[in-house]
Amino acid sequence: MTTNGSHRGRDSAHGASGAGAHGAFDAGGEDARPDPDDRFRWRRDRTAALLVVLAALATFALGLGHDFVFDDVPVIAGDPRLEHPFELGPIFGAGYWAADASGATRLWRPLTTWSFALGRLVHGPGPGGVLAINWLLNAACSVLVFALACRIVRRRDVALLAGLVFAVHPVHVEVVSNGVGRGELLAAAFSLAAILLHLGWLDRRGEHAAAPRGRPAAPGPQVDARFAAALVCYGLAMLAKESAAVVPGLIFLCDWFGREGGRLRPMLRPARLAGYFAYAIPLAAVVAGRAEVIGLAAPQVAEVMVGATPTQRIVLALDVIARTTAQLAVPITLAAEYSDYRRLVREITPADAVLPLLACGLLAGGIVAAALRGRRAIALGLLFLLLAGLPTNNLLVAIGTIRGDRLLYLSSAGFAIAFAAIVLRFVPAGRPATIATAVVAALLAGRAVVRIPAWKTEASLVRATVIDSPGNAPSWARLGDLERGAGDFAAAEAAYDRALALYARVDRAPAVVRLGRARALAAAGETARAETAYRTLVASEPDFLPARLDLGGLLYEADRLEDAVEAFDDALARMPDAWEPRANRAVVLSDLGRHDEALADVRRVLRDHPTNGAAYRIYAAVLEAAGETAAAAEVRRRLGDPAPGRIGGPPPGGG
């Protein structure tokens, strides 16, 4: 290819080292005439691309044997829609959380849900296949980041380091080694594809700065396959996760600040602007679909944000921006939960704003300085980081999460580009750059490998989270459940007490946490304390049926049968249509010798619930206690060993 003298001279500084290809600007900031050869090309770049893929696969392979944890259980394991992947109505016509009939979570991610359903058809319901797909998607996203970096920086070694940083970064553990990270992966993959397709479309139509010299700019929008594919990818990204709505802004950044070198005039050409306005079409379509299914109201805010003013929320957002940027640079502290109930957002004072403002001011100053000094790869990467994180950092609107490693997935693509440009700015091309790349990638991969085992099981993740984020109330409640299940009732009580103390900071005392504590006391044999806990819970939550059932069961086990009957009577007075207290009362009445009353209770249950297997088993026991052994034997014979809840026909021996 022929170039002018000044261009050839600038290229030689890097080309002699074999670093490579040309772009709009290099990592060091020297402006260069745009060249179409900055695009990712398989024949030339396959070795680097394969290295990125292998690094991603090798780093996260340890997570392939993990269980479903945390949100995986309701979203993947517990979603009945996934059994029917070709019934799209329930998938696209309902919210992300199948168990959230009220739609309070305000999440609609049908493409992510559908991917779980299609995956289950192929690999079954277990976690292995889900995590394997995540594993492969992360590798694919890493190659896309490498391809994007090739278009933004001149040196191929910088692009390679950017791809490797993204491929192995430890903040991605929560995405790759956790089933519900699928939404982040799909959204990022389609977002990055949309960016690359749009830039390729501009190259093709001659509007782009990187187009070959002499090709005139096309007079109209010229919608071709690449541009249409970019629009489709944008829509799919938003159907995977709503935070992808900022993709047109990311494309604009890569086009204007990256490929045009910050020149505004080319960006204002009508044809160029028309291309960006076209993204309103998929955006409007997705917003309309969301409005139809779950409405347009904002999601529930995180508990620690309740009561906060807009100013306090903005201070929080600035703090999140500062902390997450630092975390990407030095990923020492990683946690599954960051909501700290000891530090409520509504308690933020003006003095608390000083450090976040200072940190964000330094970050903004660094971006401006990098741009003015010609270090546009650094500036663009950091701007990409900030813009991609805008939907999730609570700056524009409060969301249900304070902060999360998973929320940094797409943002980290910008960080990887900026970080690689900064590191290799001070490292000569050639062997020193190769060594620096290997060291950085090894350090990040090592941290990821150390973090991955925390996500192996629910137990390992809960124990890690209470250490990493000791102010998180839900994690202590989960630890209480875990210790109770393991039989360590003293540790369970301590964990529940810790959770309740933290929940008290937001004026809450969740019934399920108090129930778990009462159950731990009962299992430990502390009947009096357990009874007090149950009665206190029933008094404050009179419609919480599990507490009433447990109280009656506790009294029954303590041989206080009349008190147990009274407890079940109270439950029925409050909830007359509930079958459980009536069936349990039948058992107690039978033990008291009040067989006619017991039979009347259980027959009423079976009349209202004729397929209730548990009620049939109680019926057989009550019949036998009443001396009706033949009828009891007939019930047991008819029960056989069917699946619970599948017994049919009228109850034998009864009305």
Paired tokens of 15: 């080309």
Residue 441, pLDDT above cutoff 90: yes
459-468 confidence digits (pLDDT tens): 999 999 999 9
| Residue 537 neighbours by CB under 8 Å, 6+ apart | 511, 514, 515, 518, 544, 547
Position with higher pLDDT, 430 vs 324: 324
Position with higher pLDDT, 422 vs 206: 422
DSSP3 helix / strand / coil % (the chain, rounded to 5): 70, 0, 30
When pLDDT is cut at 50, 70 and 90, the band that residue 644 belongs to is very low
566-620 confidence digits (pLDDT tens): 999 999 999 999 999 999 999 999 999 999 999 999 999 999 999 898 999 999 9
Position with higher pLDDT, 208 vs 175: 175
Tell me how far the alpha carbon of residue 439 is from its chain's centroid: 30
Residue 649, pLDDT above cutoff 80: no
Q: Whole-angstrom Cα distance, residue 386 to residue 134? A: 25
Q: Whole-angstrom Cα distance, residue 421 to residue 414? A: 11
Backbone angles phi, psi at 255, to 5 degrees: -75, -50
Number of Cβ atoms within 10 Å of the Cβ of 463: 17
Residue 643, classed as helix, strand or coil, is coil
Q: Tell me what the pLDDT averaged over the chain comes to.
A: 88
Position with higher pLDDT, 621 vs 216: 621
pLDDT at res. 45: 87
Polymer length in residues for the chain: 655
Q: Whole-angstrom Cα distance, residue 69 to residue 431? A: 43
Q: How many CA atoms lie within 13 A of 549 on its CB side?
A: 13
pLDDT at res. 2: 39
235-271 confidence digits (pLDDT tens): 999 999 999 999 999 999 999 887 787 788 888 888 8
Q: Whole-angstrom Cα distance, residue 504 to residue 342? A: 10
Distances (CA, A) of 321 to 297, 326, 327, 393, 496: 25, 9, 10, 7, 32
Which of the residue ranges 206-215, 356-365, 540-549 would you say has the lowest mean pLDDT? Answer: 206-215
Number of Cβ atoms within 10 Å of the Cβ of 604: 17
Report percent pLDDT > 70 for the chain: 88
Q: Whole-angstrom Cα distance, residue 168 to residue 55? A: 7
Angle at 475 between CA 472 and CA 480, to 5 degrees: 130
| Residue 579 neighbours by CB under 8 Å, 6+ apart | 605, 608, 609, 612, 615
In which residue are the tokens 């507490």 written? 547
Residue 206, pLDDT above cutoff 80: no
In which residue are the tokens 């950091």 written? 382
Residue 25, classed as helix, strand or coil, is strand
When pLDDT is cut at 50, 70 and 90, the band that residue 643 belongs to is very low
Q: Whole-angstrom Cα distance, residue 54 to residue 70? A: 29
pLDDT at res. 281: 97
| Residue 421 neighbours by CB under 8 Å, 6+ apart | 27, 153, 158, 162, 375, 377, 378, 381
Task: With CA atoms as reference, report the closest residue to 22 among 43, 49, 47, 2.
Answer: 2
Report percent pLDDT > 90 for the chain: 74
Asked if 147 and 138 count as a contact pair (C-beta separation under 8 A), the reply is no
pLDDT at res. 99: 67
DSSP string, 316-353: HHHHHHHHHHHHHHS-----S----TTS-GGG--GGGG
pLDDT at res. 102: 53
Angle at 302 between CA 297 and CA 307, to 5 degrees: 85
Q: Whole-angstrom Cα distance, residue 551 to residue 567? A: 7
Phi/psi region, residue 411 (left: phi>0; alpha: psi -120 to 50; beta: rest), is: alpha
Asked if 37 and 1 count as a contact pair (C-beta separation under 8 A), the reply is yes
Asked if 358 and 326 count as a contact pair (C-beta separation under 8 A), the reply is no
Which of the residue ranges 83-92, 168-177, 261-270, 279-288 would you say has the lowest mean pLDDT? Answer: 261-270
Task: Tell me the β-bridge partners of 25.
Answer: 31
302-340 confidence digits (pLDDT tens): 999 999 999 999 999 999 999 999 999 999 999 999 999
Q: Whole-angstrom Cα distance, residue 245 to residue 255? A: 17
Residue 426, pLDDT above cutoff 80: yes
| Residue 60 neighbours by CB under 8 Å, 6+ apart | 135, 138, 172, 173, 176, 177, 448, 452
Residue 65, pLDDT above cutoff 60: yes
Residue 339, classed as helix, strand or coil, is coil
Angle at 213 between CA 212 and CA 218, to 5 degrees: 75
What CATH superfamily classification does 472-576 receive?
A: Tetratricopeptide repeat domain (1.25.40.10)
In which residue are the tokens 């008819």 written? 638
Task: With CA atoms as reference, report the closest residue to 96 among 78, 113, 120, 118.
Answer: 113
- Identity of residue 568: F
Which of the residue ranges 472-481, 549-558, 638-647 would you say has the lowest mean pLDDT? Answer: 638-647
Asked if 198 and 267 count as a contact pair (C-beta separation under 8 A), the reply is no
DSSP conformation class of 441? H
Start-to-end CA distance of the chain, whole Å, equals 94
pLDDT at res. 37: 59
pLDDT at res. 430: 84
Domain locations along the chain: 5-453, 472-576, 583-655
pLDDT at res. 38: 66
Q: Whole-angstrom Cα distance, residue 305 to residue 610? A: 47
Asked if 342 and 382 count as a contact pair (C-beta separation under 8 A), the reply is no
Residue 391, pLDDT above cutoff 60: yes
Output b/e per residue, 546-574; b: 16+ Cβ within 10 A: bbbbbbbbbbbeeebbebbbbbbebbbee
Residues 18-25 have a mean pLDDT of: 37
- In terms of Cβ atoms closer than 10 Å to its own Cβ (0-12, 13-18, 19+), residue 321 is buried
When pLDDT is cut at 50, 70 and 90, the band that residue 386 belongs to is very high
Backbone angles phi, psi at 25, to 5 degrees: -160, 160
Task: With CA atoms as reference, report the closest residue to 32 among 258, 253, 216.
Answer: 258
Q: Whole-angstrom Cα distance, residue 399 to residue 106? A: 10
Residues 199-223 have a mean pLDDT of: 59
When pLDDT is cut at 50, 70 and 90, the band that residue 224 belongs to is confident
Residue 137, pLDDT above cutoff 60: yes
Q: Whole-angstrom Cα distance, residue 586 to residue 597? A: 7
